[in-house]
Structures are given as structure tokens and as C-alpha cells.
């Protein structure tokens, strides 16, 4: 019986997948998974940004609000029934960044987080405190949310800028995604602080002690890529006794939403379901996966993936509702049973 599931998650893609996973656990539709299975989420923190003196952790918050039913369903991020007075007032002062979406309800989360960080608590302890409001009432002890590290790590993107002497400019990932809409080519992706980061409390144990590890269809570069880039995480994935299965965020040759295509191109990985699976690689060959699910539209790529030693199947991979997403989780588990 699978009792411990660990999921390496980014923001929206990871959170939606987790919703379906929890739905499948509750409904008993996941093969071999106990009805009281515990889920540990190791979340990316390299998207984190300081805005107006506040520490904002977009992926942690997206997972927390989504699972805690506080998310704005249409936007897929931030709080439901949000108002924007703080943002409007800040813009009246002309203070940058005016492009960052800081909602009034959301600000409370960032105020609590920043206050606790200022008082000396590590991000992991802050996250635990925030989750007491959002996750404990819904799941009890069933879901634990862990930042990948307590250290400051930031993804930066190098873009072309003919007006600078080097012809290049480096922007924070959030500026690339939100302000520039990922509309200019990414020349390089830089993970500031990643090499010196220490895994957050519980992160390595969550990988080592799991019965099953799932990589949701999160961004392979700036979500899963950063988590796996935390020193010792890759080694733990390679060594764990648990099977590791991933689901492709690339469907039909591009991302379903977001900017994975631009970033995969920047790091020289083929933008395809097979390309990402082979980039993660088979554990039988020094990689981190035992199995890889691709969408049914990419069924012609299954053979290529299988040849690398990975179990692979093509199934519907669109997270259109909880049932469809739970079926994806079930297929992932079936692949390595
Ligand atoms: P972010 O931090 O908010 O960007 O979220 P993640 O990194 O967790 O997930 C982003 C990825 O989810 C993108 O690369 C999308 O292609 C992928 N994605 C979003 N919706 C779906 C879906 O319904 N199916 C699949 N297969 N991928 C999806
Ligand atoms: Ca993210």
C-alpha cells in the first residue's frame, strides 16, 4: 500500500494536479494508494520575490490557496473575491513594480510571512504557520507543504537589450513572466543562490521515505528544475526506493500555459513531451525518473522514451476537472506498479 506520496510542485500546474490527486485519494480511485495516504508537497521557491518590502512566494501560495479552497479559480493565482486598493494606491505614488499583482487579501499573507521572517523564523516554519489556516482544516495532517529550501534562491532571465553595453539585461523571473509576458526570447536562465542552498527541513526525508514520488506537469526549468537543482535533492531522487513518475507539461509540442517553451529553448532542451522526459532521464541511466506520461496527442513519442529505459504511456493529460486529473494520477501510479 502506498502511504506516503511526495510531489515536487511549482505553482498552477502543480496545484491543479495536487487537487486531482487529493480528489483521487478521497475517492479511492488511485490503484494501491491507501485512503489515508499522506501527501508531502515540496514546492519551488525560486520564483519568490521581495515586493514593496514584502516577501512573496507565488508557488507556495498557489498550492496553499488552491488546496485550501481560497484560490481565485479564474485567474488560477491569488485570493478569491480579491480587491486591489493597495496596488492602486501604490501606483498613485508611482512606486515600482506597478506590474506585480498584489491583492488586498493576499497582502495579509505576505505581511504575516514577512513579519515572521523578520522575527527570525525560517520560511519553512512560516509556511507551516500559514498552512494551519489553509490546509489543516481541509486535510488535517494529510497534506504537508514544504519549501524546497529556507535559503534565498531566485531565478533570473537574461534577455537581449541592445541599449546596454553588453547587449544583454538580466531580469527577475517575475519581471520576465509578468511584465514582459515572456514575449522576448530568453537567452539564459540563471538560478541565483541555488548551488549554495540547503534543502528545507523534511525535504530529503520526504524523498527518501516516500512510497511514491510524482512530478506533476510543472514547468521543467523554473519549477521542477529548481527543486531538483537544490543540492542533495537529485541524489535523493536517484537513491530513493520509491518509484518516481512524471507527467508532461508539454502537450502537442508546446506548453499548455506559461512559458516552458521559451525556457526549454533557452537551456537547449527539445520542446516536446519526449524531450522533457529524456531531459529528466531514466534512473537506470543516471536520471531521476522511472516512468513518464505523455498526452495522447504525443503517442508517437512513446517509443523514443521507452528506448531510454523509462516506462512510458500516452493518456489524456488535460487537467480539465478533478476527475480527469485524478485519472492522470491513477495512470501515473499504474505505470510503475
Ligand atoms: P507555475 O509555477 O504557475 O508556472 O506552475 P507549474 O510550474 O506548476 O506548472 C506550469 C506548467 O503546467 C506549464 O508548463 C503548463 O504547460 C503545465 N500545465 C498547465 N495546465 C496543464 C494541463 O492541463 N495539462 C498538462 N499536461 N500540463 C499543464
Ligand atoms: Ca512558478
132 lines ligand 1 (CB under 6 A): no
Please state the atom number of ligand 1 nearest to the C-alpha of residue 44: 2
- 242 with 324, same domain: the answer is yes
The pLDDT value recorded for residue 145 is 98
Please state the atom number of ligand 1 nearest to the C-alpha of residue 76: 3
Ligand showing the shortest atom-to-Cα distance for residue 218? 1
Ligand showing the shortest atom-to-Cα distance for residue 41? 1
Residues near 40 by beta carbon (within 8 Å), at least 6 away in sequence: 4, 5, 6, 7, 143, 144, 146, 202, 206, 210
| Percent of residues, the chain, with pLDDT higher than 90 | 99
Cα 320 from Cα 326, distance rounded (Å)? 10
212 lines ligand 1 (CB under 6 A): no
Per residue in 157-202, pLDDT (tens digit) is 999 999 999 999 999 999 999 999 999 999 999 999 999 999 999 9
Domain of residue 34 covers 1-45+202-337
Residues 38-55: what's their mean pLDDT? Answer: 98
Q: Is the pTM of this model over 0.95?
A: yes
Residues, CB-to-ion distance under 5 Å, ligand 2:
10-11, 47, 59
- 55 with 41, same domain: the answer is no
Ligand showing the shortest atom-to-Cα distance for residue 11? 1
Indicate the pLDDT class of residue 299, thresholds 50, 70 and 90: very high
pLDDT beyond 90 at 101: no
In a domain, 184, yes or no: yes
The domain spanning residue 217 has which CATH number? Answer: 3.40.50.10680
Residues 212-231: what's their mean pLDDT? Answer: 98
In a domain, 245, yes or no: yes
The pLDDT value recorded for residue 104 is 98
Per residue in 306-335, pLDDT (tens digit) is 999 999 999 999 999 999 999 999 999 999
Max Cα–Cα distance, the chain, nearest Å: 60
- 208 with 184, same domain: the answer is no
Residues 241-264: what's their mean pLDDT? Answer: 96
Indicate the pLDDT class of residue 45, thresholds 50, 70 and 90: very high
Residues near 138 by beta carbon (within 8 Å), at least 6 away in sequence: 67, 68, 69
Number of domains in the chain: 3
Amino acid at each position: 500500500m502506498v502511504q506516503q506520496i511526495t510531489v515536487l510542485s511549482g505553482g498552477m500546474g502543480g496545484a491543479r494536479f495536487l487537487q486531482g490527486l487529493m480528489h483521487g485519494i478521497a475517492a479511492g480511485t488511485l490503484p494501491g494508494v491507501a485512503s489515508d495516504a499522506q501527501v508531502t508537497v515540496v514546492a519551488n521557491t525560486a520564483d519568490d520575490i521581495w515586493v514593496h518590502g514584502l516577501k512573496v512566494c507565488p508557488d507556495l501560495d498557489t498550492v496553499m490557496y488552491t488546496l485550501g479552497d481560497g484560490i481565485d479559480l479564474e485567474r488560477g493565482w491569488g485570493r478569491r473575491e480579491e480587491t486591489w486598493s493597495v496596488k492602486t494606491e501604490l501606483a498613485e505614488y508611482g512606486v515600482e513594480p506597478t506590474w506585480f499583482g498584489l491583492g488586498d487579501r493576499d497582502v495579509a499573507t505576505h505581511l504575516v510571512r514577512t513579519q515572521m521572517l523578520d522575527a527570525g523564523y525560517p520560511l519553512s516554519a512560516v509556511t507551516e504557520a500559514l498552512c494551519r489556516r489553509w490546509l489543516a482544516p481541509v486535510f488535517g495532517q494529510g497534506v504537508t507543504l514544504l519549501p524546497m529550501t529556507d535559503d534565498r534562491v531566485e531565478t533570473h532571465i537574461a534577455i537581449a537589450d541592445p541599449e546596454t553595453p553588453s547587449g544583454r539585461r538580466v531580469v527577475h523571473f517575475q519581471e520576465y513572466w509578468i511584465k514582459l509576458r515572456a514575449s522576448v526570447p530568453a537567452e539564459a536562465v540563471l538560478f541565483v543562490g541555488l548551488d549554495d542552498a540547503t534543502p528545507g527541513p523534511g525535504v530529503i526525508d520526504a524523498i527518501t521515505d516516500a512510497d511514491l514520488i510524482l512530478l506533476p506537469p510543472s514547468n521543467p526549468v523554473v519549477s521542477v528544475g529548481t527543486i531538483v537543482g537544490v543540492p542533495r535533492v537529485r541524489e535523493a531522487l536517484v537513491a530513493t526506493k520509491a518509484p518516481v513518475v512524471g507527467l508532461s507539461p508539454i502537450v502537442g509540442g508546446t506548453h499548455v500555459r506559461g512559458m516552458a517553451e521559451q525556457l526549454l529553448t533557452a537551456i537547449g532542451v527539445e520542446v516536446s513531451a519526449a524531450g522533457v522526459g529524456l531531459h529528466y532521464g531514466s534512473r537506470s541511466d543516471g536520471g531521476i525518473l522511472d516512468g513518464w506520461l505523455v498526452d495522447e496527442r504525443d503517442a508517437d513519442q512513446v517509443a523514443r522514451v521507452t528506448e531510454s529505459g523509462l516506462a512510458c504511456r500516452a493518456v489524456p493529460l488535460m487537467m480539465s476537472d478533478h476527475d480527469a486529473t485524478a485519472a492522470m494520477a491513477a495512470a501515473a501510479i499504474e505505470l510503475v506498479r
